[in-house]
Structure formats: C-alpha cells, structure tokens
Amino acid sequence: MRRHLLARRGALVLIALAGCRPETSPSRAPADLAGYVMDVREGFGLSGAQLGPGFDGSGASGVRQFRIRVSNARTAVPGTIAYIGVDGITQVVRAGSPVGGASLSELQGAFVRVWFRRIPRNVNPVQTVAMARLVSVDSTPDARALASLTAADSALIGRILLAEDRRDSTDAALAEGARHAEEQVELIARRARLRIRDAHAAPRDSMAPLPAPPTWAEPSWKAAYRALIAPTASCDAIRDAVRGPAAWPVRLRAADLVTPVCKADDALATSLRGWVDALPAEAASHARGQVSWHAAAHGLVALARMRPADARPRVIALAVHRQWQVRTYVARAAGVLADTATLRRLVRDSNANVQEAAIDALAKVSGHGDDTLFVTALAGSGAPAVRAAAVALKGSPRADVATIANAAFERWAAHANASERDVRVALLAAAGQPASDDRPPPPIHELPPRAIALALGADVRLRVRLAASAGGGTFVVRLRGDAAPMMAARVLALARAHYYDGTDWHRVEHDFVIQGGGPASNEYVGARSFLRDELSTVPHLRGTVGMSTRGHDTGDGQWFVNLKDNRRLDRDYTVFAEVVEGMDVVDDILEGDGIATIEEVDPVVRQ
C-alpha cells in the first residue's frame, strides 16, 4: 500500500492506492466542472439517471446536487472514498465547508460507512482526480490554499520537519520554506526556526494561532475533592469524606490527608480498618466508578500515621499480597512505622516498583545501615529499583560502591535505551561521576509515516480502550499534528506497533493529571529513542494530552492527560493530542487501571 500526495489545480488528495506509482498520475485535469462530471460518468459507467433527475453536470449547483444525492443514495458511485483516500477527504472535511443542505462531514460519513473497506485494485488516476475535484468544490480559502501544494512542497515540509528534529538551523530547507508563497509552508518553516533557536520557544506570540482544544465540564465531585486541602482539612471533614457517599477519588484523597492529629477519632479509624480488612486475596478488577485494591492500600498508610498499633499487624499480613500495588503501599506504610524487617523483605520483592518503594523508605529509616542490600539491588534489572538503590548509595562509606556502580552503569548504557537516563545518571552519581558522563544512544532522525499529513492538519484519532479489569470504557483523542507533527506521528507509529497495548495508568492525581503508557508501570522506562519537544501555542487545558519528559527533548512516549487547566506546564511540555470523546471515562480512571489497546480510528466511523 502506497500513499502519494497528488495535487492538481485545487485538489489536495492523499490517495491510498494499491500499486499506483507517481508516473501513472494523470497528465491533465479537466477544464471545468462539467468535464469533471463527465470523467466520473465515463470512468464509472454512470448514466444521467444514476446521477439523479435534473442533473446535467454543469455548474457548481449541479455538483452540489450530485454530492447530496451521493450522500443520500450511498450507491451512486461505488468505491468513491477508496479512490480518493480517507486522508484526502479528511483534509476537505477539516475545512468544514457546508455543501447545500448537507455538510462535508455528512458526505464523508456516507462514503466511509459504505465503501471504506472496499478498495478496488484497478484504479484509474483520472477518475481519482475527477472525484477529488468534485468533493473539494466550495472548499474554504484555507483548503484551496492547501490544494495548490505540489509533491515538491510536500517533500520540502518533510525536510523542514527533519531539520527541526535535528535542531539544525543551517538546513537550507528552513530558508526555502520561509520564502515559500504558500502561507502554511512558510509558517511551518518559521515555527521550526523559532523552536530550534529557543529551547522553550518563549516568543510564541510570533507563532500562528492554532485552534483551541475542546472544553470539558468537570465531574460533580471535583469541588468536594478540592475542598480537602492539606494541612487545613479538619479530622471531621476527613472522616465525613472517608465514610462517603462521596465519589472514590474524594474518599481516597481524604484518607491521604489523615495525620496523627486524628488519632482520637474512633469512627475514622473504624472506617479505615474496614477498608483494609475488606481487601480480598484477588483484587485486580473493579467496576467503573468503584475500587479494587485502592481503598485498602490508602487506608493502610492512613492507619500507619493515625493508629500505628492497628496498622502493624496488617502491614505484616499484606506484605505478601499478590497484588503488587498493595505491596507498594505496604512499603510506604512500613516506612511510616519504621518497620525495617518488612522493608528489608520488600527490598527483595519480585516487582521492581515495590522494591523502589521499599528502598526509598528503608534508606530514610536506616541511612547507610542497609547499604549491603542496596548494593545487591544494583545488580537487578528493574529500572526503578536500581535507580532507588543508586540514590540510596550516594555518599556510602563502602569503598567498593564506586566500582560496583560503574559496572552497573556500563550494563545500563549497553541497553541503548534513551528513556533509562534517570537510572544511568543515578549510577554515575553513586560512582562519584558527573551526569555529563552519561552515554545515551544517538538520536534517530527519521521522518515517521503520516508526519507531513499531520503537519498539514490531517484529522488522525486514536481510541484508548481500557482493560475490562478497569471497568472498560473508551475515549478518543485527536492528534494535534498542526502543533506537534513529529511527536504526533511517532505516537501514532507506537500505537500502530501495539506499543501501548497492555500498559497502564501508573500515576493518577485527580486534580492534576493521569500518566501512563510505559511498559513497566513506572516513569523510568519508555520509548527507546527520545521524542523531541514541539512546544506551541496550544495550552495545557483540561483534556489536552502531553508528553512525559525528564527535561528538554526527552519525551519518553508516555502520555499524560490534563484533568484541569495546567497552564504552568505550557513552558516545558508539548501538547500532542486532545480528548474529543469520553472525558468522563478519563475522569474515572484510577491508579493502575489497564490500557487494553490504543488504536487508530477513522474520524467518522468510531463504533
């Protein structure tokens, strides 16, 4: 399957054709609308009756009639959408031009629903151009401007995107693009120069304004959530929230605010004990709006702060629970209790995320008294545990730590995974070496599929399907290729490779963001090659999707979805997508909820 940019006098078409090569592109374009219609009639063998009574193919009104009749009958021109290509239609639909009594999106929907998966092999390029011209009539000025772009223009845009990705201000494509007659090409080049010159793209007011993200109402429980503020929340307010009937995000938030000040509140203690003691042996699933392991985990840590005597036996009992997230919270509770025996046991846990929590807590309790355990942990394969052990060993009195940490660094450098940078830097610090000694793999600068189409505004959407164990549900995001074409295209490529399938949302802060999509349920492992920043004028508003980073140009492939307006993130984090359906599903996501699949979905057909 090949995709070619075919531009002929006003029609920008991305054609999805089997076996169609550039040299087979038509050498002519019909001279007028009647000619276009004749090409279609002759090419497809259509009679005037099939086109509809009173239609003679002359003039714009005739074309409107033709399009509306096709939309209604859905059988007049078999295979039309296949000949034009979904992306080509999408370019026109994105312009939002009305057509008589029907909209372009309605026309697209009719075509896609009937013919999207019926792509014939015997394609006549003249038919393609003729049909493309028909569906691009009456387009907006922006669409008509795009229509004048040629294949050479498309190649130039690709060179500009690659120059920006390399941060190469000397590439001749930038100057060529800046002089281009078409405004969109000129804007892409000007934006690239700005982002190359300034890591934070500070003077963004010089960039072209982009469409604002959709606006999403907040869930009804968000006000109650925000009313619980540390450290001013009273024990009465905490107790009332914990006992319900508030939504679970509010109840869990209240438990997290429990302090020793509330130790005399028997009703609160009873509720927290009830949460912990109700935890089943199998706690991997929950219905939407409910919890599984979450209440017991948060309740245990709250009990450790409030009633240590109640928490101690429960910490010991749950240290062997089969759900690794429960054991992570056990480590946190054991840290509050200074339960070194439990912490030492959990440092040897089979899950690296549990190990990390235990090492962090044990280092705070015993200092360098457990360096032997931490040195052993350096030999592990889990990024969070090795990083935590390296941090704990910094300044160790043991003479062999530097040698052991250096050897571990060499092993991790050999992984050639850019996103494991935090592990490597922590190992260097434990060895007494500067972070500048890190040896990340060289960046890969390749133009990902669909990058040019995305840069030109192609409407590309991804559907996120949550795991059944998380209550199911889906939401849809639209990639913002108009703002971050390379990042959007690379995320699309990861989704197509099923990279995100089976991952989860490991970080959930209900009044900030959810984050996930990493292969190990933590923030220390991600895509092997960093994704470069593409900062723009699209703000971090509720429902926008940003890229997780560890500094400039260190995108690791993990998503975060803004649950509220987070304008403070505008300076450093790239918005590459926005939620367009299912924000209520996003609001219900809890820590650890699984991602079954992330897959591309047609902008019209989303069943």
- pLDDT band of residue 202 (cuts 50, 70, 90) is confident
**Residue 53 is inside which H or E element, if any?**
none
Neighbouring CB atoms inside 10 A of 288's CB total 15
Would the pLDDT of 596 be above 90? yes
- pLDDT band of residue 146 (cuts 50, 70, 90) is low
pLDDT of 281-337, one tens digit each? 999 999 999 999 999 999 999 999 999 999 999 999 999 999 999 999 999 999 999
- pLDDT band of residue 239 (cuts 50, 70, 90) is very high
Would the pLDDT of 545 be above 70? yes
Q: How many Å apart are CA 439 and CA 400, to the nearest integer?
A: 22
pLDDT of 415-473, one tens digit each? 999 999 999 999 999 999 999 999 999 999 999 999 999 998 888 999 999 999 999 99
Q: How many Å apart are CA 81 and CA 521, to the nearest integer?
A: 41
Return the bridge partners of 516, or none. 559
Would the pLDDT of 521 be above 90? yes
Return the bridge partners of 98, or none. 103
Percent of the chain with pLDDT over 90: 70
- pLDDT band of residue 45 (cuts 50, 70, 90) is very low
Indicate yes or no: pTM above 0.85.
no
Question: What pLDDT does residue 13 have?
Answer: 32
Question: What pLDDT does residue 604 have?
Answer: 55
Lowest-confidence pick of 46-50, 289-293, 361-365, 531-535: 46-50
Question: What pLDDT does residue 200 have?
Answer: 87
Residue 318 token pair: 């749950």
* Average pLDDT along the chain: 82
pLDDT of 257-287, one tens digit each? 999 999 999 999 999 999 999 999 999 999 9
Question: What pLDDT does residue 31 have?
Answer: 34
Of 538, 525, 516, 541, which Cα lies nearest the Cα of 592?
Answer: 516
6 within 8 A of 126, measured Cβ to Cβ: no
Question: What pLDDT does residue 83 have?
Answer: 33
Backbone angles phi, psi at 544, to 5 degrees: -80, 155
Side-chain half-sphere CA neighbours of 316 within 13 A: 8
Would the pLDDT of 367 be above 70? yes
Question: What pLDDT does residue 464 have?
Answer: 99
- Give the angle 177-179-180 at the CA atoms, nearest 5°: 65
Greater confidence (134 vs 18) lies with 134
- pLDDT band of residue 37 (cuts 50, 70, 90) is very low
Would the pLDDT of 54 be above 60? no
Q: How many Å apart are CA 265 and CA 423, to the nearest integer?
A: 43
Question: What pLDDT does residue 603 have?
Answer: 67
Report the range out of 42-46, 114-118, 211-215 with the highest average pLDDT. Answer: 211-215
Question: What pLDDT does residue 178 have?
Answer: 97
List, in order, residues 6 or more apart from 291 with CB less than 8 Å away. Answer: 248, 252, 590
Overall average pLDDT of the 183-190 stretch: 94
Backbone angles phi, psi at 546, to 5 degrees: -115, 170
Amino acid at 132: A
Distances (CA, A) of 578 to 20, 47, 544: 34, 45, 4
Greater confidence (485 vs 206) lies with 485
Q: How many Å apart are CA 346 and CA 352, to the nearest integer?
A: 10
Percent of the chain with pLDDT over 70: 75
pLDDT of 68-94, one tens digit each? 333 333 333 333 333 333 344 444 334
Overall average pLDDT of the 14-18 stretch: 28
Lowest-confidence pick of 29-38, 169-178, 317-326: 29-38
